[in-house]
Amino acid sequence: NPHQRVLTWTTFNRTSRSTVWYGTERLNKVAYGDHGTLFTDGGPEKRSMYIHRVYLNDLEPNTTYKYHVGSELGWSELFLFRTFPDGYQWSPRFAVYGDLGNDNAQAMGRLQMEAQNGQYDFVWHLGDFAYNLEDDNAKVGDEFMRQIEPIAAYVPYLVTPGNHEEAYNFSNYDNRFTMHSNTGNEAISNFFWSQNIGPVHLISISTEFYYFPKWYGALQLDNQFRWLEADLEKANRPENRARQPWIIVGGHRPFYVNTYIDRKLQTAFEELFWRTGVDIYMAGHEHIFDLSYPVYREQVKGKSFANPAATIYIISGSAGCIANISEFSAWPPPYTAKVSGEYGFSSMTVINATTIHFQQINHEQAFFEVVHDMYITKEKHGPYH
Ligand SMILES: [Fe+2]
């Protein structure tokens, strides 16, 4: 929302009211929350912390604001963010990746640099954080949040849950982040949500509902699917597609990988994606860059990224974690367009209704290289049949 931001931070003591001072020149406006939500980690020490959330609701579009957060007891450093332009005819730029931890965080430095340098409007982390948020009584989670502060204090840090967030019913993940839908489809926040940003409709789903039934049984799985189906059908209506022609779905686990197909997820979602014309499904989990041709029911629907005749599947799961790069097949299946085993992340610019510029950035320590550069173009968005 070009008029709104939500700021989330943590203190280890109860404070006076959660407060944000902000403004374009001076810190002359103020917004308040409550005293923070008490979160207790599930580990043996039962460490507690207060999660503060404050909404800024009266922002001007396309404007840079300075701010600091805290309370009368003390303030953060001074940060800044720029609000989104109004309307849908602008070109969002974002970094998207999965599987980024504290140790071996290969892409972290570049992401911090580029976020602060204004190269992205937002970033999207497709699950597997910190390795793991709950480790060492959630001190690893604290450290991870400190490491992403140089990104998340400047641009919205969108999140999707992965298998590594599973502990104590995903409670560290659910408490430490703040996600919403702005599309009129209420979400189970942080687990599934959808956002209209410029000409793109983004949807995040939890693939983990299919893998950790101990926390939910079939209930969340069913909730999510009904929500997703309604969200996609609405997004695909002509009047909505006229504003947001691109539909990108993100989830932690991939469907089409050069070494296997996730049959559970394929069975659950592929037909829905086909029928509602999902342009791209983005995932992490496998620690590689893996790009599919347009594919449906394992059938390659042409080897072109100009007017693709089915959903394209992209894995960008090599931002950097303690486990190394995943193995990949020397003889990939026909649906595999490209596989790369370098650390890095994806950078996307949704230029307009017809064109997306996609780059896979290899970033290992100080070494930088664009390993894949392509344009995805589409004259007409909608169902594939
Ligand atoms: Fe994973």
How far does residue 165's CA lie from ligand 1's centre (Å)?
Answer: 9
d(CA 286, ligand 1 centre) in Å: 7
Residue 354 CA to ligand 1 centre (angstroms): 32
The CA 129 to ligand 1 mean position distance, Å, reads 9
Distance 125 CA to ligand 1 centre (A): 12
Q: 303: CA distance to ligand 1 center in Å?
A: 28
For the segment 214-233, the average pLDDT, to the nearest whole number, is 91
Residue 187 has pLDDT above 80, yes or no: no
pLDDT at residue number 175: 97
pLDDT of residue 189: 78
What pLDDT sits at residue 342?
86
**d(CA 378, ligand 1 centre) in Å:** 31
167 alpha carbon to ligand 1 midpoint, in Å?
Answer: 13
Q: Distance (Å, rounded) from C-alpha 96 to C-alpha 158?
A: 9
Ligand 1 centre and the CA of 46: distance in Å?
25
Contact partners, residue 371, CB within 8 Å, separation at least 6: 289, 340, 342, 344, 360, 361, 362
- The CA 211 to ligand 1 mean position distance, Å, reads 11
- Give CATH 3.60.21.10 domain extents, the chain: 88-377
Ligand 1 centroid – CA 285 distance (Å) = 4
Which segments of 175-329 are extended strands (E)? Answer: 193-197, 200-204, 246-250, 280-283, 289-292, 295-296, 299-300, 312-316
Question: Distance from the CA of 343 to the center of ligand 1, in angstroms?
Answer: 15
CATH class label, 1-86: mainly beta
Instruction: Report percent pLDDT > 70 for the chain.
Output: 100
d(CA 304, CA 16): 57
Alpha-carbon distance values, 187 to 11, 161, 193 (Å)? 27, 14, 5
Distance (angstroms) between ligand 1 centre and the Cα of 252 equals 7
Q: Rounded to the nearest 10 degrees, what angle do helices 167-176 and 135-152 cross at?
A: 30
**Residue 128: exposure state from Cβ atoms within 10 A (0-12, 13-18, ≥19):** buried
Q: Reply yes or no on whether the pLDDT at 210 is more than 80.
A: yes
What is the whole-number distance in angstroms between the Cα of residue 177 and the centre of ligand 1? 18
164 Cα–ligand 1 center, Å? 6
Cα-to-centroid distance, 362 and ligand 1 (Å) = 20
How many A from CA of 147 to the centre of ligand 1? Answer: 20
pLDDT tier at 37, thresholds 50, 70, 90: very high
Contact call for residues 224 and 192 (beta carbons, < 8 A): yes
Q: Name the helix (H) or strand (E) containing 122.
A: strand 122-125
**Averaged pLDDT score across all residues of the chain:** 95
What 8-state DSSP symbol labels residue 46? -
Is residue 141 predicted with pLDDT exceeding 80? yes
- Provide the b/e sequence for 210-241 (b: ≥16 CB within 10 Å): bebeeebeeebeeebbebbeebbebbbeeebb
pLDDT at residue number 316: 96
Superfamily of segment(s) 88-377? Metallo-dependent phosphatases (3.60.21.10)
Distance between Cα 16 and ligand 1 center (Å): 38
Q: How far is the CA of 128 from the centre of ligand 1 (A)?
A: 5
- The ranges of the chain annotated as CATH 2.60.40.380 are 1-86
pLDDT band of 97, cuts 50, 70, 90: very high
pLDDT surpasses 90 at 291: yes
What is the 26 CA–ligand 1 centroid distance (Å)? Answer: 43
Cβ–Cβ < 8 Å for 320, 101: yes
**Ligand 1 mean position, distance from CA 208 (Å):** 9
